[in-house]
Amino acid sequence: MKHNTFLAILLLLPLFLSAQVQELDCRYQGSAKALDGNIYVLTVFTGERPWPQKDVDAIITNVYEAQSWLEKQAQRYGKTVSFTNGSFGHPDPIRYYVATGTGSGNESADVVWEVMKKIGYQNPADFAQWAKDNADCDNALVLVLTKTPGTSYALAYRDDFEREKYYLEGAVIYTTYESGGETCSGSIAHEMCHLFGAEDLYETFSQTKENEAKARKLYPNDIMLRVSYDINELVIDEMTAWYIGLTNKEKSWYRDFLKQKQ
């Protein structure tokens, strides 16, 4: 009987280990797998009218500042990260209306898919392959820029999603917050971190109040906890670094911050 029990444990062990690996690997899904190597960022301007050049310059400056900050944060963990940038929709923006984002979790999940279809990609997931073949980028993402005010949000991929529609990851970036203030580079970096696997550390529809309290004690300046108009006040702390692939050093409570609320 003991031999049978031992045999059963041996048979189940590979399945257990496989599940553990799968849980770990779920951080590295989609077109923006991890903050690593050369990353292609496509910015897409949307709207009914051409953007004033000052608005184009302002948002692109913030995108570049976010990328530069991410590069410096990666260096803190011994990683080399660089960005290759492409742009579409300027001076003639993609005619697509993006509804105001409110941070409710009910925003449209199809924005990247629909915008890329308008650009001409029948299968938007093919864009990630294009970035790899033509720009030597193993990671690719899309920033959909809109002059509608709102709370920016990320569209990250999971392997239970429809691959054709959602594999190409991206974020909707509003030029201003609902309050009217200009969306800062910290918010752009925050959304990009989501695409590489980071979790919110403040209470949201998918994060608990208890986890926020813990994060405030452990990681008070983490980019996933708070935002600042001075991005250099913020850091990618050890837990977020683990989520986005900058380190493999895991502590026991990291997985407690995975999405729990539905």
**Per-domain residue ranges of the chain:** 37-196
What integer pLDDT is reported at residue 104 of this predicted model?
A: 85
DSSP count for the chain of H helices, then E strands = 8, 5
185, 139 contact by CB (below 8 A): no
Q: pLDDT class for 82, splitting at 50, 70, 90?
A: very high
Q: pLDDT for 8-62, tens place per residue?
A: 444 444 443 334 433 444 578 899 999 999 999 999 999 999 999 999 999 999 9
Tokens describing residue 206: 């998918």
CATH class of 37-196: alpha beta
153, 171 contact by CB (below 8 A): yes
Q: What is the pTM of this model?
A: 0.89
What whole-number distance in Å separates Cα of residue 233 and Cα of residue 223? 9
What integer pLDDT is reported at residue 259 of this predicted model?
A: 66
Q: pLDDT class for 103, splitting at 50, 70, 90?
A: confident
Q: Is 143 in a helix, a strand, or coil?
A: strand
Q: pLDDT class for 260, splitting at 50, 70, 90?
A: low
